[in-house]
Structure 1
Amino acid sequence: MILTKNILKYSLNDNNTLVINTMSGAFDIIDNETKKKIEMIKNGTYESNSDDKDLINTLKSRGYLYNDVDEENNTINKYRILNNKLEMLTKNNSFTICPTMGCNLRCTYCFETNDLHKEFQVMSDGQLTTILNYIKEVVNENRKADNQARKKTGKTSISLFGGEPLLKTNYEVVKRILQFSSDLGVEVKIITNGTTIKFYEGLLSKYSKIIKIQITLDGNKEIHDKRRIRADGTGSFDEICDSIDELVKLNICAALRINIDKENIKSLYKLINLIKDKKWNEAKNIITYVSPVLDFSKNDTTFKESELLTKINELCPDLGKSNAVIKRIVSPVINYLDTFLNLDVKMKPWKVNYCEATSGTSIIFTPNGRISTCLLIAGKCKSDIGTFDEKGIYFDEHMTKLWFERDVFRIPKCRECKFRFICGGGCPVEAIDVNNDIDCAVCSDIEKTLQVYIDSIKDKILEKYGV
């Protein structure tokens, strides 16, 4: 009899411990006596007795105990087959089109280079035709599927990114994409800096039913204008505020993103007050969230996810509540934990891939004819999975498999890790940047973030289970 290695334990109070089975998704609260017996089983010092028959049967049924390693591995393989089937239902359902990599801002923390932003090549009609034909083909194939689950989970979306997708020079490209998406019944997400919303007002209003927009505001005027700077050195705060007002008026769904690091965290309360003063938090079409600034160079100004979660919980104790200004934190680890630690969600999904880039659900097209899977490297001619032109799309089989088949079963470092099914193997781009190998993982901040998250919901857990 062996105890699974996929078990995590967290103290809730002096008498109770939360145990989590990361493979089966089981959550259980145990007393100190049960905890002691589980430790004895783990250490090989437990002596079986008839009084523990019910406990042993429960531990087996909950996936904590197995007769031997082979039994556990067989169970994991069954889960893996099921997980693979579920993943197949959502393959190729997220397409990102970058009309240009040019941008009118020079944000201080942008992961794209200024050289890239100065390149104002706009995607050609022929290139766009190739992309739209491919998307239409995929959508039609999905809709022909007999499997009802595929129809439900395999919903296709198109995102517009860049650079800045809503530059005035991109108008005809954006117009054509919106018309295509409307005809096909596909949602369009536009990630914009918000400086040209008024120029696009008529077009956005026309297609408002299929559009969702993301705009970034990093603080009050003093803070924001030091971070999100125009190419001429001036700030963008006033125009972006006007754009948000415009979206409220047009009733277009919009996410207000706040990129957080150590340089603006202390002023977050000022931005929250601004949002209240502008009454954006009362608008039904606006949702506000925070996200950590990414920097794989280990810059001292960035937060790990556990650090950010701690800070936001301190500054926004009402985080996520219906009356809260800040609705959520958007980041790879915390996003997953929002679902995994949701006490009302019975089916806990595995996370064997870190993000969309390695799950096979993201394809990104840039005007230089490159296809990638991750926004961090889009347009940089780095780790592309294919190319495209006016004649067609050409996937590199080796590179596509390298990205889309990366999971915790393939990555050597992850195979014996107890966090593997809730981590996903860490960021693939960070692995490449730091170790020059997509399968030489850089561990995510899952262990510390999970501890912080559970500490923040201890009372909810105890109340939920009547302890």
Structure 2
Amino acid sequence: MHLSRHTFRFSVDDKKQVLLYNPLNGAMDLIEKSQLNKLNTAVRHGNESALADGSLDYMLDRGYVYPSPEDEQAALVRGYEEFKAREQKSNLRFVILPTYQCSSRCSYCFIGEAIGQERLMADEVMDLAFSAMDSIAEERGKGCTRQLSLFGGEPLINTPNQRRTVERILQKGVERNFLIDIVSNGFDLVHYADLLKQYGVFKTQVTFDGMRDYHNQRRVSVDGQGPSFDRIVAGVDAALERDLTLNVRVLLDRNSIETLPELVSFFKEKQWFASPHFSIHIGSVFDCFRCQPTEETVKHLGVHEGNRKLYQLCSEDRSIAELLAIDWQGVRRFVYTGKLFPPTYKTCFGGTRTFAFDPNGGIYACETTAGRPEYQIGRFSPELELNRDLIQALEDRTILTIPGCKQCPQALLCAGGCAFNAVVTNGSLMSPGCRLMKETLQYGFDLYWPDIAAQLKGPDEVTELPEEVADVACCAPSPELVQSFYAAAAESPAPALCCPTKYAPELVSHIRKDALDRSYGCGSPVLEAALRPGEVVVDLGCGSGIDAFLAARFVGRDGRVIGVDMTEDMLQQGRQYQPAVAETLGYDVVELRSGAIERVPLEDEVADVVVSNCVLNLSTDKGSVLREALRILKPGGRLCLSDVVSDRPLTDHLRNDP
């Protein structure tokens, strides 16, 4: 027997127990320390017969123990094949830099010597860039979403020539059905908000470096239009007023992290957190080949120190933890979805799923490397030329090929790090860019431990289901029985039906608590579906509308959500909640219809996305449900289901239970 090298032990509040986590198998368990020590001793000494209590079988099933090292290696290789399949379906991302010119001078800017070049991407160069994107997409982008990111320099400088260039880029992106986002300093966002709305820009990112005074020292405006903090605030206001999705990055160093609570309070006063289109994430100044912070303006915050200070802030004020929504390497995701991240074999997709195009005709693996010719992976002007050998090397760079990752127990968490950071730091593409993942996880487990413990142990009390529907998940009860049961659950919340998945508070802040108490799903298909503004979503078996209301948050005022359910009592509950949802969001795009999901009362090809949450198992004609879902989907639409399944054959007793 062989103990998996990918198993991590984490301390928990109960000193007699330990938390085991194995990213290779996606297993997480609480176990008594004494039991674990007994197991480890028996396996190491080849005395498995001492484990007669069934614990060895359980540990084998969970992947903490393998019959041999070769078996674990085989599992690692199988996981990589699954990872590659997911990678091929991931977004193909093109980054376009219309200029290296910028309206600010940040001492830590990694664009370095290229910054300040006033050249705008010429029309003929832009045409060649998009032609190159088409060629790369034909080779690598079949069956996946194609994304276009505007970067810089600064893409949104308020001059007539740059505005014309940006609009032309947006036009070409829309023509290709690209999902478009923009990374901007936000100084002139207020002047571009209408244009971004016009072209359906999916998301815009701006950055704050702390509260007003410190931010203005860090992000110095050089365009003569005044300090940057209030200009960015005006831009955020303008974007949210137009229902543009806005992500604020807060960039931290040793000084600015002290102002973080004050900055969060400022965002709350602005009521930005109340908008369904606002989100926030934390970044830090990092060392790379052109980040050269000065002693006077930037106090570099290392990963270890940054994590520790963020943990202290979040543990002292849980409201800050929820507003910042720091994921702690997937811990928060587990708390709210019950899902762990699948094993990751590479972090850097530069040159494989990301390609950056600059105004000088160069192609780079990502925006971080842009502006430095020695890091080009090709050119698109005057014609497309790709360094196939370098691209293949980037493709092959995984934890299975990087020598320093092959035996590292943290490899499936760290995934090898950034390729070009590895080149600059270590002088080799095939060296690891190590990250402190176990430490990050421990902070997350400590912060969310009560929620995690509840999920692992299960609820203390489980309300019994009525006997006639106790097997509702493994058989197909009659429609009459389903209607009767869920009509009762509409009148009074049924704790037994709720809820293996918890939504993050910021995602459901627009839904009343008594509505959420009647959320009877078993997953989060709305989140998995990656909804976009303007899409039409149909929820089959919508119940009281919780998933429909959540979908409304993502599709925005230009989208549409139609919920279909056969239980009128559930629909009536949803219609009572709907006005409050609409008032909070500022728009009403939800329609709740009565109907059977085996005969959906909708025309053909009306939906961009069809979702269903723990309803298909209740149908006596599942084939008709799936055929109906495909009928109402537009060509290229998406179907996302969450439901209960059996991982073993059913007994005749269960299969034939009426």
TM range (shorter): 0.7 to 0.9
Q: 2:326 aligns with which of 325, 328, 352?
A: 328
- The yes-or-no answer on 1:353 pairing with 2:351 is no
How much has 1:166 moved relative to structure 2?
1.2
1:248 partnered with 2:240 = yes
Q: Judge conservation of contact 1:37–1:46 (CA < 8 Å) in 2.
A: no
- Given the alignment, which residue of 159, 176, 195 partners 2:187? 195
Deviation of 1:69 after TM superposition, in Å, equals: 2.0
Please name the residue that 1:366 is paired with.
358
Q: SS in structure 1 opposite 2:124?
A: helix
Are the counterparts in 1 of residues 329 and 440 from structure 2 also a CA contact under 8 Å? Answer: no
Match of 1:287 in 2: 279
- What secondary structure, in the 3-state scheme, does the structure 1 residue paired with 2:217 have? helix
Contact 2:313/2:320 (<8 A) preserved: no
Q: Select 2:303's aligned residue among 289, 305, 309.
A: 305
In structure 2, the residue matched to 1:148 is none
Q: 3-state DSSP class of the match of 2:276?
A: coil
Amino acid of the residue matched to residue 24 of structure 2? Answer: M
1:395 to 2:386 alignment: yes
Extract unaligned runs of 5+ from structure 1.
Answer: 146-150
Give the Cα separation in 2 of the matches to 1:442 and 1:380: 20
The 5 Å alignment of 1:4-403 reads 4-12=4-12, 13-41=14-42, 44-45=44-45, 47-49=47-49, 52=52, 54-90=54-90, 93-113=92-112, 115-136=113-134, 151=143, 154-167=144-157, 168=159, 169-207=161-199, 209-231=200-222, 235-296=227-288, 301-317=299-315, 324-328=322-326, 334=328, 338-339=332-333, 341-342=334-335, 344-346=337-339, 348-357=341-350, 360-390=352-382, 392-403=383-394
1:141-187 Cα deviation digits (max 9, x unpaired): 788x5xxxxx4xx2111000000011224222211121222233222
Q: 1:343–1:372: structure 2 CA closer, same or farther, 3 Å change rule?
A: same
- The aligned amino acid for 2:287 is D
Shift in Å, 1:388 = 1.1
Q: Mean alpha-carbon deviation: is it higher for 1-10 or for 456-465?
A: 456-465
Kindly provide the CA deviation profile for residues 7-55 of structure 1, in whole angstroms up to 9, marking residues without a partner as x. 111122212111112211211111123211232145x235232752621
Alpha-carbon distance, 1:202 to partner:
3.6
2:48 and 2:190 mapped to 1: Cα distance? 73
Kept after mapping to 2: 8 A contact 1:17/1:31: yes
List runs of 5+ in structure 2 lacking aligned partners: 459-658
Cα distance in structure 2, aligned partners of 1:399 and 1:323: 41
The residue type equivalent to 1:97 in the other structure is I
- Cα distance, 1:128–1:432 mapped onto 2, change above 3 Å: same
Whole-angstrom distance in 2 between the partners of 1:73 and 1:323? 38
Query: 1:37–1:324: structure 2 CA closer, same or farther, 3 Å change rule?
Result: closer
**CA separation of 1:314 and 1:286: change in aligned 2, threshold 3 A:** same
What SS does the aligned partner of 2:18 have?
strand
Using the alignment, how far apart are the partners of 1:351 and 1:229 within structure 2? Answer: 38
Corresponding letter in the other structure for 2:114: L
How many residues in Structure 1 have an aligned counterpart in Structure 2? Answer: 448
Q: Aligned-pair distance for 1:124?
A: 1.7
Aligned counterpart in structure 2 of residue 444 of structure 1, from 408, 432, 435: 435
CA contact 1:224–1:235 (8 Å) conserved in 2: no
TM-score, normalising length: structure 1: 0.88
Structure 2 distance, partners of 1:126, 1:352, is 39
| 3-state DSSP of counterpart to 1:199 | helix
Q: CA deviation at 1:311?
A: 2.0
Alpha-carbon shift at residue 323 of structure 1 (Å): 9.7
Shift of the 157–57 alpha-carbon distance from structure 1 to 2, 3 Å rule, reads: same
Q: Counterpart amino acid of 1:77? A: V
- What is the Cα deviation at residue 84 of structure 1? 1.8
The DSSP-based 3-state class of the residue aligned with 1:157 is strand
Larger Rg: 2
Q: Confirm or deny: 8 A CA contact 1:102 1:118 kept in the other structure.
A: yes
Higher RCO, 1 vs 2 (CA within 8 Å, ≥6 residues apart): 1
Instruction: Report the residue type matching 2:264 in the other structure.
Output: I
Q: Structure 1's 276 and 347: CA in aligned 2 closer, same or farther, altered over 3 A?
A: closer
CA distance in 2, matches of 1:288, 1:50: 52
Aligned pair in 2 of structure 1 residues 465, 311: CA closer, same or farther (>3 Å)?
A: same
Name the Cα RMSD after superposition: 2.7
TM-superposed deviation, 1:404: 2.6
Aligned to 2:477: none
**Percent identity between the two aligned chains:** 25
Alpha-carbon distance in structure 2 between the residues aligned to 1:407 and 1:55: 34
TM-score (norm 2): 0.63
Moved more, 306-315 or 214-223: 306-315
- 2:63, 2:335 → 1: CA distance? 20
